[in-house]
Amino acid sequence: MNSTDLIVVVVLVALFLLYKYLETIKELIFSNDDAISAVNSSSRDIAHVLTENNKNYLVLFGSQTGTAEDYAKKFAKELTAKFDLNVLCGDLELYDYGSLNELPENVIVSIFMSTYGEGDFPDGAVKFENFISTASESSLENLRFTVFGLGNSTYEFYNGAARKVQKYLQAAGASLLGSIGEGDDATGSTDEDYLTWKELIMGELKNVLSLDEQEQKFKPSFQLEILDTIDSNTSLGEPTKNYLPSALLKGEINGPFSISEPYLGHISNSRELFKSDDRNCIHSEFDISNTNLTYSTGDHLGIWPSNANEKVEQFLVAFNLNPETIFNMRQLDPTIKVPFPLPTTIGAAVRYYMEITGPVSRQFFGHLIQFAPNNDIKEKLTILSNDKNKFQTEITSKFFNIADAILYLSGGIKWETVPWGFLIETIPHLLPRYYSISSSSSLDKDSIHVTSVVENSIEPKSNTNVVGVTTNLLRNIQLAENKMLGSESNPLPVHYDLNGPRDLFRDYKLPIHVRKSTFRLPTNPSAPVIMIGPGTGVAPFRGFVRDRVNLLESDRSIKLGKHLLFYGCRNEDDYLYREEWIQYATILGESFEMNVAFSRVPGTPKIYVQDKLREQSKLIWQLIQDGAFLYVCGDAGRMAKDVHKTLLDIVMKEKGVSEDDAIEVIKMLKTSNRYQEDIW
């Protein structure tokens, strides 16, 4: 063997080893503190991990924003509490499924799956989808499984991913226990759908596995430890461990930035876009110059919120918690990772890590029964947690959050009997909110803009002020940065600690990360573009149009195709970026055309974007024939559907075809990526 051969052999061996360990390396690099994972295992092989950790039940989830994860964990926790099972609960992306047909005897698999796009799986579950969709007939005949889907029936492919799980697994010979459960966000009934499904499945499991039911008692997955000093390793609300003083000593965080490692973005500019007193829309610009954070026009920005002072205070009072208490959590179950950076304080956890303001679930009430402060309240709790109609009228319809609800029940008595460990394990983690980026990565290389409508309303029934966590934070920052905090005409509903843990967020910084999307302009600038985005739905189109402005300014000889923008708002007061569009039009010339629908101008009829589309019916059809790309952004509830319907009408009318044929035309546009939606 000469030296060249030797080098070849060495390189081949190295490549082989690299290949073999790539998954392990990837896990090390991208390991996410928040994810539950089989920490006690050297392997991704699902049967191996189960055996190694002595588990006898498997709960897996595919989740994009945490809802499916939440339900999966609740389900796992209840299986443990009720039947004393040893449950492994993990993200589908953590394991390989080659051994799915060889799980230890009597292990049943429960899958929780949310749906995106056209019935697509969440990003982390795509490999699992590939595996089950190509599994051969009877290759999974030993497998017994249950499915619960998380979806929203306003979308066309309602619970598409969960339904596919059932279809593929059954095609491979696996048997479904009970029936598939489907949670529907649209009707706000996910919780009730889950409870109904869960009751049936638990009964089924009890029979099939001959389980003994015990009285439900909270079994902690962590042992709490109270500490007495704060040091440089104690989290005071830092987004990840890498932002702790002890870690920052070792240098700046260079990225790559992702949902497991956000960038601390400085809001260099922010302003109010609405002119009315009663509604607010905030334009925020995050400085990303000299960073490794990059984006493309059409992506989403994840913004990491923190809870408002008033809400933190109310929660601490309701449960009689001392915010100064410093604690650590030791894993009792190696497959369940700690949910946030530890050690930390109760105050920091409530402010930065726990979702304390959303609606309360009936199931949470069920779990609380064991900790009710007295028998009277226990009785009330039991009744409400068992009666969905009563729960709806007494709690949900009043827009109560957890603290509102329990104080209402107890008539103001504090719930000091509820263990802190239970709250940490039962209340969901505060997660980033996503915003359609409204800047252009070519024109605005150094900044990311977002356009957010502030969620702030008074619910007449209970007179509760219902506020969104992130959007009110962005509004507070806007007012503070422009030295207007305190001078607003209507008092702010909530206030925040804008300086953050150890002043980390001082000077208007927030943790952010970019999530890639597929919402993209055609690469050929001469292709016609039709953009439909009423309200905040116009956000990504500001980015699109700025992209085209930049392109034309770099080369005046480029021939742009027609770019039509259909925008809708109530009146002049909420007309977003009104002055900017005029500027863009002067640069883009005839190729840019704006159609604005006003819905609430006194003395004139209500006009929506789809009415404007109808007016231009002939042109729209002509542009579609010329290869136009269509984009719809904004409200998925009604707007996107109404626009879809209008486009069908336009095809039927102008092409002179039946509804079925028009449906085919629209489908074809969708599959060839010429009809894209960014709706929420």
Ligand X SMILES: *[C@@H]1O[C@H](CO)[C@@H](O)[C@H](O)[C@H]1NC(C)=O
Ligand Y SMILES: NC(=O)c1ccc[n+]([C@@H]2O[C@H](COP(=O)([O-])OP(=O)(O)OC[C@H]3O[C@@H](n4cnc5c(N)ncnc54)[C@H](OP(=O)(O)O)[C@@H]3O)[C@@H](O)[C@H]2O)c1
Of 515 and 570, which has the nearer Cβ to ligand Y?
A: 570
Question: Where does this chain touch ligand FAD (CB under 6 A) — which range of 124-132, 192-200, 234-242, 462-470?
Answer: 462-470
Neighbouring residues of 389: CB distance < 8 A, sequence distance ≥ 6:
none
Note the helical H segments in 58-114.
67-83
Q: Which residues pair with 429 in a beta bridge?
A: 354
> What token pair was written down for 602?
């006194």
Look at the block and give the residue holding tokens 């055309």: 593
Among the listed residues 92, 453, 477, 651, the single contact to ligand FAD using CB under 6 A:
453
Q: Which does 420 bind (CB under 5 to 8 A by kind): ligand FAD, ligand FMN, ligand Y, none?
A: none
Of 250 and 559, which has the nearer Cβ to ligand X?
A: 250
Question: Number of residues in contact with ligand FMN, rule: CB under 6 A?
Answer: 23
Q: What is the Cα–Cα distance from 462 to 408, expressed in whole angstroms?
A: 11
Question: Where does this chain touch ligand FMN (CB under 6 A) — which range of 57-65, 221-229, 464-472, 664-672?
Answer: 57-65
Of 271 and 600, which has the nearer Cβ to ligand Y?
A: 600
- Residue 606's CB: how many other CB atoms inside 10 A? 11
Asked if residue 600 binds ligand Y (CB under 6 A), the reply is: yes
Among the listed residues 65, 382, 571, 617, the single contact to ligand FMN using CB under 6 A:
65
Nearest to 28 by CA among 11, 51, 44, 50: 44
Nearest to 357 by CA among 456, 460, 430: 430
Work out how close the CB of 298 gets to ligand FMN at its nearest, in angstroms, rounded to a whole number.
Answer: 13
Work out how close the CB of 679 gets to ligand X at its nearest, in angstroms, rounded to a whole number.
Answer: 6
User: Annotated binding site for NADP(+): which residue ranges?
Assistant: 279, 536, 599-600, 606-610, 642
Asked if residue 123 binds ligand Y (CB under 6 A), the reply is: no
Work out how close the CB of 544 gets to ligand Y at its nearest, in angstroms, rounded to a whole number.
Answer: 17
Q: Which residue is nearest to ligand Y (CB)?
A: 535
Q: Are 227 and 328 in contact (CB under 8 A)?
A: yes
| Secondary element (H or E) of residue 547 | helix 539-554
Asked if residue 636 binds ligand Y (CB under 6 A), the reply is: yes
Q: What is the Cα–Cα distance from 551 to 507, expressed in whole angstroms?
A: 34
Of 347 and 543, which has the nearer Cβ to ligand FMN?
A: 543
Q: Which does 637 bind (CB under 5 to 8 A by kind): ligand X, ligand FMN, ligand FAD, none?
A: ligand X
- Residue 276's CB: how many other CB atoms inside 10 A? 13
Q: Which does 467 bind (CB under 5 to 8 A by kind): ligand FAD, ligand X, ligand Y, none?
A: ligand FAD
**Contact footprint for ligand X (CB under 6 A):** 40, 53-54, 152, 154, 185-186, 231-233, 246, 252, 254-255, 290-292, 334, 635-637, 680
Spell out a b/e string for 623-640, using b for 16 or more CB atoms within 10 Å of the CB, else e: bbeeebbbbbbbbbeebb
Among the listed residues 452, 476, 591, 599, the single contact to ligand FAD using CB under 6 A:
452
Q: Give, to the nearest 10 degrees, the angle between helix 578-588 and helix 539-554.
A: 30
Of 143 and 161, which has the nearer Cβ to ligand FAD?
A: 161
Of 185 and 272, which has the nearer Cβ to ligand FMN?
A: 185
Of 218 and 680, which has the nearer Cβ to ligand FAD?
A: 680
Work out how close the CB of 138 gets to ligand X at its nearest, in angstroms, rounded to a whole number.
Answer: 32
Which residues in the 282-321 window bind ligand FAD by CB under 6 A? 300, 305
Of 539 and 560, which has the nearer Cβ to ligand FAD?
A: 539
Nearest to 63 by CA among 30, 94, 35, 91: 91
Structure letter (DSSP) for residue 360: P
Burial zone of 329 (CB within 10 Å; 0-12 exposed, 13-18 middle, 19+ buried)? buried
Which residues in the 527-586 window bind ligand FAD by CB under 6 A? 536, 539
Look at the block and give the residue holding tokens 């909530």: 494
Q: Which does 186 bind (CB under 5 to 8 A by kind): ligand FAD, ligand X, ligand FMN, none?
A: ligand X
Of 160 and 237, which has the nearer Cβ to ligand FMN?
A: 160
Of 422 and 680, which has the nearer Cβ to ligand Y?
A: 680
The β-bridge relationship of strands 263-272 and 281-287 is antiparallel
Q: How far, CA to CA in Å, does 227 sit from each of 108, 342, 425?
A: 40, 11, 19
Neighbouring residues of 467: CB distance < 8 A, sequence distance ≥ 6:
308, 357, 455, 456, 493, 494
Q: Which does 129 bind (CB under 5 to 8 A by kind): ligand X, ligand FMN, ligand Y, none?
A: none
User: Annotated binding site: which residue ranges?
Assistant: 63-68, 114-117, 150-159, 185, 279, 433-436, 451-453, 468-471, 536, 599-600, 606-610, 642, 680
Asked if residue 608 binds ligand Y (CB under 6 A), the reply is: yes
The binding track of 565-584 with respect to ligand Y, each residue x by CB under 6 A or -, is ---xxx---x----------
Asked if residue 123 binds ligand FMN (CB under 6 A), the reply is: no
The binding track of 169-198 with respect to ligand FMN, each residue x by CB under 6 A or -, is ----------------x-------------
Q: Which residues pair with 592 in a beta bridge?
A: 563
Concatenated DSSP letters of 159-221: THHHHHHHHHHHHTT-EE-S--EEEETTTT-HHHHHHHHHHHHHHHHHHHTTPPP-------S
Q: What is the Cα–Cα distance from 631 to 600, expressed in whole angstroms?
A: 25
Asked if residue 121 binds ligand FMN (CB under 6 A), the reply is: no
Concatenated DSSP letters of 383-451: HHHH-HHHHHHHTGGGT--HHHHHHHHHTT---TTS-HHHHHHHSPBP--EEEEB-S-TTT-TTEEEEE
Neighbouring residues of 379: CB distance < 8 A, sequence distance ≥ 6:
none
Neighbouring residues of 233: CB distance < 8 A, sequence distance ≥ 6:
244, 246, 343
The alpha-carbon radius of gyration of the chain (Å, integer) is: 27
Work out how close the CB of 6 gets to ligand FAD at its nearest, in angstroms, rounded to a whole number.
Answer: 53
| Secondary element (H or E) of residue 300 | strand 300-303
Nearest to 515 by CA among 263, 339, 338, 278: 263
Of 146 and 599, which has the nearer Cβ to ligand Y?
A: 599
Asked if residue 63 binds ligand FMN (CB under 6 A), the reply is: yes
Question: Where does this chain touch ligand Y (CB under 6 A) — which range of 66-74, 314-322, 632-640, 658-666?
Answer: 632-640
Q: Which residues bind ligand FAD (CB under 6 A)?
A: 300, 305, 357-359, 399-401, 433-436, 451-453, 455, 466-471, 536, 539, 680
Provide the binding-site residues for ligand Y, judged by CB under 6 A: 453, 455, 534-537, 568-570, 574, 599-600, 608-610, 634-639, 642, 680
The residue ranges that bind ligand FMN (CB under 6 A) are: 63-69, 114-117, 119, 122, 150-152, 155, 157-160, 185, 680
